[in-house]
Amino acid sequence: MSSEIKFTPEELARYSRHIILPDFNIEGQKKLKKAKVLVVGTGGLGAPLLLYLTAAGVGTIGLVDFDVVDDSNLQRQVLFTRDDIGQPKVIAAKKRLEALNPYVNFITYQTGLTSDNALEIIKDYDVIADGTDNFPTRYLVNDACVLLGKVNVYASIYRFEGQATVFNYTNKQGELGPNYRDLFPTPPPPGLVPSCAEGGVLGVLPGILGSLQANEVIKVISGVGETLSGRLFLFDAATFETRTLKIKRRKDNPLNGENPTQTGLIDYQQFCGFGGEEENLEKKPVKSINVKQLDSLIKENANIQIVDVREAYEYDIANLHGELMPKSEVTNYIQKIAKDKQVVVHCRSGKRSSDVIELLQEKYGFENLYNLEGGILAWAKEIDQTMPTY
Amino acid sequence: MAKIIIPTPLRKFTSNLATVAVKEGTVLESIKDLTKQYPELDKHLFNEEQQLRGFVRIFLGEDDIEDLEGNDTTVSQGDTISIIPAIAGGTN
């Protein structure tokens, strides 16, 4: 098949270091040119993935991302520069990558991957590289890949730790390897594992893991070497400890175990515990106020209490003079939270404070708590533009 | 003694310790020795029926205990147990 692929003299010159590479050679390069790779998420992992896949000469690269470039992305998302701030990530990425390699065809999808569009987008690609940042999308990418028979090259990071493997890969002996649901049948409850926005991440770590992902993508396409299928690679950047653990398929996998029960995509927000209907029926809704309302209350000297549930190091960056009661230890402060007046609870973006209010309403019977919509970020945007954001 | 490597997301329950020394015996006994030292950890590893939660895997050396003898797998002096949780970070 790959014999139909032809190269111009310029392409041959550009890829000469691959072509003279024993075992890889011109055949490997033809396979790359023929391949279609979809990179889901053009952020920390997506940046090195896209740069190396483009430089290597993958013929068609799809980019999926709904987001726009923010200054705080530049600490690790090395595809972008300050000129790209405010631009859709897929547009800024395509421009950068086209400047790197004109022999690659780029297809952009400026949207989040959802249960409604995932199969349609993924079906045209050979290999999917998952560089997303949340559990619902991880399960969505996995399930869509298993249902469509696509290889899912996976990496994930948290603070100093990274994981990488290759899911749903059929080896040269025709044996199918494990997928994400063999490794982790169900996701953690929301809140246990904070996002990078809350938990932080060492900027170079996605660079390392994303490069490993690019390496696996190229091995899957070219057939050179042994992929990470059936092995989970772990890297701790803080200690430089690495482990490679064996992972296997499980009989109870709902997609392709002995008795599959799932034949299509599902509601992944609900699967991951975000806004499940049954759960919501039992919980009291969280009341909220916006930053303009809070600003008025402060100016009126209204009798309110402001509770800040972020961590102390976040408080030091910017604060609303609230009382610091970090979410992780908020139950130690119950006595300090007023029950006889309006209490405004806030965090960075409104997520943690909402979780805290749910907990305090459910376990401690509070009825006077209000979540600050959009958190201190909304305050910095709408009320005080001099306030530092992070 | 054997050693359990604690992953970053769970270190907040082990006073930020990355490894904890535990008694050998079976995997379950070793892990219960860990949760006896750090009781907060128990509910994050086990559900109400005392089964390991679906977002956590336990490895002895490089093997998943499910591919050995599960909770009854023998842990010997000097063995390393890894607790591996799902993490999702990447883009943002």
Tell me the per-residue pLDDT of A302-336, one tens digit each, with 9 for 90 and over: 999 999 999 888 898 999 999 999 887 888 888 89
Q: Mean pLDDT, to the nearest integer, of A264-281?
A: 71
Return the closest-CA partner of residue A190 out of A271, A260, A116, A267: A271
A212, A347, A376, A378: which is the annotated catalytic residue?
A347
CA distance A385 to A372: 17
Residue B63 has pLDDT above 60, yes or no: yes
- Say how far apart CA A164 and CA A142 lie, in whole Å: 14
Does A244 lie at the interface with B, CB-CB under 8 angstroms?
A: yes
C-alpha–C-alpha distance, residues A264 and A267, integer Å? 10
Tell me the per-residue pLDDT of A78-103, one tens digit each, with 9 for 90 and over. Answer: 999 999 999 999 999 999 999 999 99
What is the ipTM for the molecules in this complex? 0.92
Q: Which amino acid is at A370?
A: Y
Instruction: For strands B63-64 and B56-60, give the pairing.
Output: antiparallel
User: Is A347 labeled as catalytic in the residue annotation?
Assistant: yes
CA distance linking residue B83 with residue B67, whole number of Å: 15
Which chain B residues are within 8 Å of A44, Cβ to Cβ?
A: 89-92
pLDDT at A151 (0 to 100): 98
Q: Is A42 on the interface with B (CB under 8 A)?
A: yes
Q: Hey, is B56 helix, strand or coil?
A: strand
State yes or no: pLDDT of A281 exceeds 60. Answer: no
Q: Which residues of A touch B91 (CB under 8 A)?
A: 41-46, 65, 67, 131-133
Q: What is the pLDDT of residue A313?
A: 84
**Neighbour tally for A242: CB within 10 Å:** 10
| Between A281 and A163, residue with greater pLDDT | A163
Q: Choose between A211 and A316: higher pLDDT.
A: A211
With contacts defined as CB-CB under 8 Å, which chain B residues touch A234? 82, 84
The per-residue pLDDT for range A163-205, each reduced to its tens digit, is 999 999 999 999 999 999 999 998 887 766 555 556 678 899 9
CB within 8 Å of chain B, chain A residues 179-218: 183-188, 192-193, 195-197, 199, 201, 206
Q: What is the distance between the alpha carbons of residues A85 and A71, in angstroms, rounded to a whole number?
A: 6
- Give the mean pLDDT of B69-77: 95
What confidence score (pLDDT) does residue A194 get? 57
**pLDDT mean over A53-76:** 96
Asked if residue B92 has pLDDT above 50, the reply is no
B67 touches chain A (CB under 8 A): yes
pLDDT of residue A190: 73
Q: What is the mean pLDDT of residues B66-82?
A: 95
Q: Confidence class of residue A3 from pLDDT cuts 50, 70 and 90?
A: low
Q: Which residues contact B61 (CB under 8 A, 6 or more apart)?
A: B79, B80
Alpha-carbon gap, residue A148 to A136, rounded angstroms:
18
> Is residue A124 pLDDT above 70, yes or no?
yes
- In this complex, do B62 and A246 lie within 8 Å of one another by their Cβ atoms? yes
